């Protein structure tokens, strides 16, 4: 078998030329692709290093946070016990009075500059001794809270037999459905806000986050002219939903419950000097 | 980029070959040395070494260095190469092929594969005894008469500057004007990829000849397919 059997030899020069061109094109493409792959690998590597650095920074932040938590857990628990004792000693103690007792105790451990307190502690203080009624705050699990509030809303507003004509009943039914939807929407918006806040501040305690969410939903409910009985519905039983993995927060719940009991009792009494 | 990867990656080249070259037809052969392992690639490379040894032992040939001996090596690889050299020198004198040289060929093939593909460095120097059997069987099938040059013999030839275009293409052997590529395969088919590879060598050879301003031998490719078909299918 000769080359003549394989090919028309007159075509060889053009074939060789085409082959040469193909090689050049392919080599160029390959080089470009290799270059691109190289660049990508470098970028990937850079990103990897960056992520590693971010991880390390986060780790440091978590470590610092944990350290600060550990450093403050004793003062905080001591202060809380002081608060609890204060409530035990005087169940009608005002929030301001109670806060003062706790802050005073903390100050025994620390220079009393509020801003230099660890953020979580400040948040705990804000949460545990808020300006508004405590029952407004203790909610975290938005979905379940939403369900509870809706349940409350239905119970409070619509459990009574409807009176009037069928037209009126239909109107009420429509209004009720619309309201339910609006409340659900409010919760969705509030949850999104909560998620956003949590994203921008991952070290925010769940308690404070719950506060943000709940306040948000309250505002939204007011905006849609939700009946006051709904906005003010304070399902104390929902309190039990709030569970935190950390001992500190569990302690806070316990303390909060005590405070709520104290305030509920106080509400039935006369307002005392020093009450806000 | 090797010639093989170019062929795989360039549809235009494959079309060029298809449109301009007539692929010869072969009668399908039968399997004459059934493989004992599935290390086809390694056995094929090792067989290239053995065939090269045989041709060189019986003929006067020009040769390029073993691929396995190129580049820098670790001490263990150096040991493999120097052992192979000793055994090969002995073989050149005696013409007696033994298991030690076959084993050396396998070890050279393990290094060769790493140099060519950049992979398999963990396999260097490892020999499967069944591969020894396979290679011994294949070696016995070599018909040395088919590799008798009348004028010239080049072992493991490259194509000068043209080889550089594809990162160093090297064929198995050129005897006189015939470019021969050895395939040890269990499939008794003359695959189109083999044909495309041979045409690739042929075209690189022409480019090299043009570059060196020498005539292109017109009988190239003659016995390539013949050898492939007869000996090792």
Task: Give the model confidence (pLDDT) of B113-170 as tens digits.
Answer: 888 877 888 888 888 999 999 899 889 888 888 888 888 888 888 887 788 778 778 8
Distance CA B152, CA A252 (A): 95
Mean pLDDT of B14-29: 83
| β-pair partners for B153 | B175
Domains identified in chain B, total number? 2
Asked, for residue A198, whether it belongs to a domain, the answer is: yes
Computed over every residue of chain A, the mean pLDDT equals: 62
Do B156 and B233 lie in one domain? The reply is yes
Asked if residue A123 belongs to a domain, the reply is no
Measure B203 CA to nearest chain A CA, in Å: 6
Average pLDDT over residues A95-123: 60
Q: Please name the residue that has the structure tokens 């301003």.
A: B213
Whether the CB of A58 is below 8 Å from some CB of chain B: the reply is: no
Do A26 and B10 count as a contact with CB atoms less than 8 A apart?
A: yes
| Enclosing domain of residue A165 | 139-241
B26 in the same domain as B86: no
pTM, entire model: 0.52
Do A23 and B220 lie within an 8 Å CB cutoff?
no
Chain A residue with CA closest to B9: the answer is: A26
- Considering the domain architecture, whether residues B67 and B126 belong to the same structural domain is answered as yes
- Please give the DSSP secondary-structure letter assigned to residue A110: S
pLDDT for B91 equals 93
Average pLDDT over residues A27-35: 81
Cα distance from B165 to chain A (closest Cα, Å)? 7
CB neighbourhood size of B28 (10 A): 11
- Contact of A250 with chain B, judged by CB distance below 8 Å, is answered with no
Helix (H, G, I), strand (E, B) or coil at B62: strand
* Chain A contact present for B219, CB below 8 A: yes
Residues 6 or more apart whose CB falls under 8 angstroms from that of A235 comprise A145, A148, A149, A152
C-alpha torsion sign, points A55, A60, A66, A69: negative
| Residue pair B34/B187 in contact by the 8 Å Cβ criterion | no
Let me know if residue A58 belongs to a domain: no
The predicted pLDDT at position A243 comes to: 31
Q: Give the C-alpha separation, A139 to A191, whole Å.
A: 12
3-state secondary structure A71-122: HHHHHHHHHHHHHHHHHHHCCCCCHHHHHHHHHHHHHHHCCCCHHHCCHHHH
The DSSP bridge pattern shows strands B178-180 and B173-175 to be antiparallel
Percent of chain A with pLDDT over 70: 31
Q: Are residues B155 and B178 in the same domain?
A: yes
* Structure confidence at residue B22 as a pLDDT band (50, 70, 90): confident
Residue A96 falls within a domain, yes or no? no
Q: Over the stretch A41-89, which tens digit does the pLDDT of each residue have?
A: 888 888 888 878 877 777 776 666 566 556 666 666 777 777 777 777 7
One domain, residues B115 and B46: yes
Q: What local confidence, expressed as pLDDT, does residue B110 receive?
A: 92
| Distance in angstroms (rounded) separating the CA atoms of residues B54 and B51 | 5
pLDDT over threshold 80, residue B53: yes
User: Per-residue pLDDT for B76 more than 70?
Assistant: yes
d(CA A139, CA A130): 14
pLDDT of residue B231 exceeding 50: no
DSSP, collapsed to helix, strand or coil, labels residue A180 as helix
Number of domains in chain A: 1
Instruction: Give the pLDDT band of residue A144 (cuts 50, 70, 90).
Output: very low
Give the mean model confidence (pLDDT) for residues B177-194: 81
Cβ contact A120:A207 at 8 Å: no
pLDDT above 90 as % of chain B: 21
Mean pLDDT of B196-203: 87
End residue of a domain, out of B113, B140, B167:
B140
Angle between helices B99-117 and B75-94 (to 10 degrees): 130
Which of A16-30, A247-261, B159-173 holds the top average pLDDT? A16-30
Each residue's pLDDT tens digit, A176-229: 667 666 666 666 666 666 666 666 666 666 666 666 666 666 676 666 666 555
CA A185 to chain centre: 18
**How many angstroms separate the CA atoms of A168 and A145, rounded?**
31
- The answer to the question of residue A175 being in a domain is yes
Do B5 and B91 fall within a single domain? no
Pair (B58, B108) in one structural domain: yes
Give the containing element (helix H, strand E) for B153: strand B153-155
Three-class SS state of B180: strand
Distance from CA of A38 to the nearest CA of B (A): 15
**Residue-number span of the structural domain to which B153 is assigned:** 1-32+145-233
Residues B83 and B119 in one domain: yes
Kindly report the number of other CB atoms within 10 A of residue A90's CB atom: 14
What integer pLDDT is reported at residue A205 of this predicted model?
63
Alpha-carbon distance A60 to A254, whole Å? 30
Claim to verify: residue B70 and residue B85 sit in the same structural domain: yes
Question: Would you state the torsion angle of the CA atoms of residues A121, A122, A124, A125, taken in this order, to the nearest 10 degrees?
Answer: 120
For residues A127 and A221, the model is more confident at: A221
> Could you tell me which of A205, A247, A274 has the C-alpha nearest to residue A74?
A247
Residue B152: the pLDDT is 86
**Pairwise pLDDT comparison (B231 vs B205), residue with the higher score:** B205
The pLDDT value given to residue B178 = 80
Does residue A230 lie in a domain region?
Answer: yes
Interface contact B165-A6, CB threshold 8 A: no
Q: Are residues B210 and B153 located together in one domain of the fold?
A: yes
Determine whether the interchain pair A5/B166 forms a contact, defined as Cβ–Cβ distance below 8 Å: no
Is residue B165 domain-shared with residue B226, that is, in the same domain?
yes
Q: What number is the average pLDDT over the span B66-86?
A: 85
- ipTM at complex level: 0.76
pLDDT score, position B229: 35
Task: Give B-chain residues touching A21 at CB under 8 angstroms.
Answer: none
Residues 6+ apart with CB under 8 A from A201: none
Using CA atoms, how far residue B31 sits from A140, B28, B185, B192, in Å, is 75, 10, 8, 19
B91-104 average pLDDT score: 92
* B75 and B112 housed in the same domain: yes
Confidence band of B15 (pLDDT split at 50, 70, 90): very high
How confident is the model at residue A59, as a pLDDT?
72
Residue A89 corresponds to which tokens in the numbers above?
A: 């000693």
Please give the mean pLDDT across all residues of chain B: 82
**DSSP 8-state symbol, B158:** B
Predicted pLDDT of residue A110? 56
């Amino acid at each position: 078998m000769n080359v003549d059997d394989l090919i028309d030899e007159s075509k060889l020069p053009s074939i060789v030329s085409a082959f040469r061109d193909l090689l050049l094109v392919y080599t160029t493409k390959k080089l470009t692709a290799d270059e691109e792959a190289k660049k990508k690998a470098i970028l990937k590597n850079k990103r990897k290093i960056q992520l590693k650095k971010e991880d390390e920074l986060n780790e440091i932040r978590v470590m610092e946070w944990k350290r600060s938590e550990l450093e403050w857990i004793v003062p905080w628990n001591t202060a809380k016990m002081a608060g609890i004792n204060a409530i035990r000693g005087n169940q009608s103690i005002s929030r301001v009075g109670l806060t003062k007792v706790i802050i005073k105790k903390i100050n025994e451990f620390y220079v009393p500059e509020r801003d230099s307190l660890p953020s979580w502690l400040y948040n705990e203080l804000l949460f545990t001794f808020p300006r508004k009624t405590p029952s407004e705050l203790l909610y975290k699990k938005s979905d379940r809270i939403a369900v509870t509030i809706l349940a409350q809303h239905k119970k409070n507003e619509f459990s009574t037999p409807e009176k009037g004509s069928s037209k009126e009943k239909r109107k009420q039914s429509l209004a009720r459905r619309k309201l339910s939807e609006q409340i659900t929407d409010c919760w969705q918006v509030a949850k999104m806000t909560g998620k956003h806040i949590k994203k921008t501040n991952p070290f925010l305690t769940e308690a404070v986050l719950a506060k943000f969410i709940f306040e948000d939903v309250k505002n939204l409910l007011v905006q849609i002219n939700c009946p006051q009985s709904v906005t003010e519905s304070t399902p104390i039983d929902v309190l039990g939903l709030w569970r935190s993995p950390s001992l500190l927060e569990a302690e806070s719940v316990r303390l909060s419950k005590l405070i709520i009991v104290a305030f509920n009792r106080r509400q039935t009494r006369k307002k005392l000097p020093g009450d806000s | 980029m090797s010639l093989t990867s170019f062929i795989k990656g360039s549809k235009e080249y494959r079309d060029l070959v298809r449109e301009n070259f007539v692929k010869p037809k072969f009668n399908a052969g039968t399997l004459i040395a059934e493989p004992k392992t599935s290390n086809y690639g390694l056995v094929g490379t090792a067989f290239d070494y053995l065939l090269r040894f045989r041709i060189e032992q019986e003929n006067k040939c020009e040769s390029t260095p073993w691929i396995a001996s190129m580049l820098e090596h670790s001490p263990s690889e150096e040991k493999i190469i120097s052992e192979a050299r000793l055994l090969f020198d002995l073989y050149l004198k005696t013409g007696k092929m033994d298991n030690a040289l076959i084993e050396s060929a396998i070890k050279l093939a393990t290094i060769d594969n790493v140099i060519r593909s950049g992979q398999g460095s963990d396999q260097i120097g490892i020999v499967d005894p069944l591969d020894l059997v396979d290679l011994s069987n294949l070696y016995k099938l070599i018909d040395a008469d088919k590799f008798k040059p009348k004028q010239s013999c080049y072992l493991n030839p490259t194509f000068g500057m043209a080889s550089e275009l594809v990162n160093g293409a090297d064929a198995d052997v050129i005897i006189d004007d015939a470019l021969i590529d050895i395939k040890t395969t269990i499939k008794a088919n003359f695959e189109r990829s083999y044909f495309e590879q041979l045409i690739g060598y042929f075209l690189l050879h022409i480019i090299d000849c043009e570059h060196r301003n020498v005539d292109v031998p017109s009988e190239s490719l003659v016995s390539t397919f013949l050898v492939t078909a007869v000996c090792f299918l």
